[in-house]
Amino acid sequence: MSTNKKPKPEKSCLVCGRPFTWRKKWKKDWEQVKYCSKKCQSLRPKPQDNPA
């Protein structure tokens, strides 16, 4: 029961720089996932700074 043929892919968050691992919820969007969490996604650098 120890078959690690395909380790889960990893990426580095563009905001905090921490590595994060593939998750089920990103199954369809993994190619486009660039942030480890929604928090970082909201903190991502924007072309225009427009505070709420």
Q: For binding to Zn ion (CB under 5 A), which residues are involved?
A: 13, 15-16, 36, 40
Nearer Cβ to Zn ion (1/17):
17
Rg from Cα positions in the chain: 14
Query: Which residues, including other chains, have CB under 8 Å from residue 43's CB and lie 6 or more apart?
Result: 15
Please, which residue, 6 or 25, has the CB nearer to Zn ion?
A: 25
2/17 with CB nearer Zn ion: 17
Closest approach of Zn ion to the CB of residue 46, in Å = 16
